[in-house]
Amino acid sequence: MGFFRGDVMDRHCAGRDRSTAGLARHGRRRQIVLVFGLALLLVLAVASPAVARDVEGCLICHGDPDFVDPTPNAGEPTSLYVDSEMFGESVHAQQPCSACHRGFVLTIPQHQVDVDKDFRQVAIEACEACHPDAFMSYQTSAHAKVYYQDDAGPICISCHGSHAIRRVRLGEESAEFKMEMAKDSCGRCHQDKFDRARDEFHIKALNLGYERAATCFDCHGYHENLALHSGEPETVEACRECHPGANEGFTYFQMHLEPHFMNAWWGVRAVYLFFSTLLIVVLVVGIAYTTVHLQKETRILLGVFGGGLGRLFGFIRVLEEESRGNGKSNNPLRAERADQDDSDVKDETEGGE
């Protein structure tokens, strides 16, 4: 810490009692050492190579790709393999297995103490233990309602996965990550909504690498899964995350419309139909007209398809002559020359027919 003991420091303490100043400096130095030490530890912890900690030795058996349930209930044996490398890269790599797999004992063959307990209930409880806030948000969501009522809704691991949960900083996710989460987590069940959202500005921009563009959970919430109907206060709040001036009228923008705007307001469909028709009409008429016009002036199609390459080179020669202005008078004020130009054109036309 040499550089902290510089002249500036000495001059600063010059007026005080030497020993007191020395003591204070000593204490401060210890503080600094402590802070830097902790920071170093943190950096090391974050930057350390991804290795699963596995203090209990579960991966001795479960790290084997061929490890299957030796007592299959029916049909195909269930794989009990956990990819240790994948788990090592996950955010939970430093956690012992039993941190989540609670109520398990190290007796073989039966790990689970309460055999009849539903594995999904175990999973939810495991997450809740460390993430109570997220769990509370989830409790209010439509996902939870379906889970508790019909015993079929998604739980934490349905969206987050289990052994490969990645380390992200909220608000700093990359565009690829947000896109992947929207596709794999939300789109797995809400395929239709995801497909429609892909045609909208937000996800289009995200798809092209704009990480600030909103994806599913930026509006609908990570765990709340708000329905977000037009005109509702929570929808206004959701829009205001990025559009601070949004009001109630703003929320009447129609999202997740079907292809060709089939379920949109009739005005949107009318404009869409009008411009689609206009596009096709102008395209067809434009291409047809341009082809006929250019063909008449250059006879280039005849040159390519009729007379072969010789005619095509003839066309190029005509262009060159045209550009040089050959065969024409340089005096514009002589009208008879212009007349002759016209008759030249006529001759050409008749010759071509």
Partner 1 sequence: MGQGTDAKEGVNLVYHRFSAFHRFNHYLVMLSFFGLVMTGIPLKFRDSIWAQMIMDLVGGVAAAGFLHRVMAVVNILYFILEFSYMAWYVVARKGPIFHEDSIVPTKKDWADMKGMFRWFAGKGEKPKLSRFTYWEKFDFWALFAGTFLIGGSGLMMWFPEATTRILPGVSLNVALVLHSNEAFLATGVIFIFVHFFSAHGRPESFPADEVIFSGYLPVEHYIHERPQEYENRLKAGTLHEVVRPAPSPRRRRMFKWVTAAITFFAFLAASYTVLLVVWPLIF
Interface ranges with partner 1 (CB under 8 A): 201, 204-205, 207-210, 212-213, 230, 243-247, 249-254, 257, 261, 264-265, 267-268, 271-272, 275-276, 278-279, 282-283, 286-287, 290, 292-294, 296-298, 318-319, 322-325, 328-333, 335, 338, 341-342, 345-346, 349, 353
CB of 188 to partner 1, least distance (A): 21
Q: HSE-up of 158 (CA within 13 Å, CB side)?
A: 18
Compare residues 119 and 274 and give the one whose CB is closer to partner 1. Answer: 274
Q: Which of residues 26 and 317 has its CB atom nearest to partner 1 in the complex?
A: 317
- Asked if residue 46 lies in contact with residue 55, where contact means CB atoms within 8 angstroms, the answer is no
At closest approach, how far in Å is the CB of 279 from partner 1? 5
Q: What does the block give as tokens for 60?
A: 């001795």
CB of 10 or CB of 241, closer to partner 1: 241
Q: State in angstroms the smallest separation of the CB of 70 from partner 1.
A: 48
The distance of closest approach from Cβ of residue 196 to partner 1 in the complex, given in angstroms and rounded to an integer, is 13
Nearer to partner 1, 8 or 333 (CB): 333
Nearer to partner 1, 160 or 240 (CB): 240
- The distance of closest approach from Cβ of residue 255 to partner 1 in the complex, given in angstroms and rounded to an integer, is 9
Cβ proximity to partner 1, 142 vs 302, nearer residue: 302
Closest distance between partner 1 and the C-beta of residue 158, in Å?
A: 28
What is the closest distance, in whole angstroms, from the C-beta atom of residue 270 to partner 1 in the complex?
9
Nearest approach in angstroms of CB 340 to partner 1 is 11
- Minimum CB separation of residue 325 from partner 1 in Å reads 5
- Which is nearer to partner 1, 151 or 353 (by Cβ)? 353
Q: Are 91 and 164 in contact (CB under 8 A)?
A: no
HEC letters along the chain: CHHHHCHHHHHHCCCCCHHHHHHHHHHHHHHHHHHHHHHHHHHHHHHCCCCCCCCCCCHHHHCCCCCECCCCCCCCCCECCCCHHHHHHCCCCCCCHHHCCCCECCCCCCCECCCCCCHHHHHHHHHHHHCHHHHHHHHCCHHHHHHHHHCCCCCHHHHHCCCCCCCCCCCCCCHHHHHHHHHHHHCCCCHHHHHHHCCCHHHHHHHCCCCCCCCHHHHHCCCCCCCCCCCCHHHHHHHHCCCCCCCCHHHHCCCCCCHHHCCCCHHHHHHHHHHHHHHHHHHHHHHHHHHHHHHHHHCHHHHHHHCCHHHHHHHHHHHHHHHHCCCCCCCCCCHHHHHHHHHHHHHHHHHHC
Smaller CB distance to partner 1: residue 105 or 270? 270
240, two tokens: 């205001």
50/345 with CB nearer partner 1? 345
Q: Report the distance separating Cα 214 and Cα 191, nearest Å.
A: 17
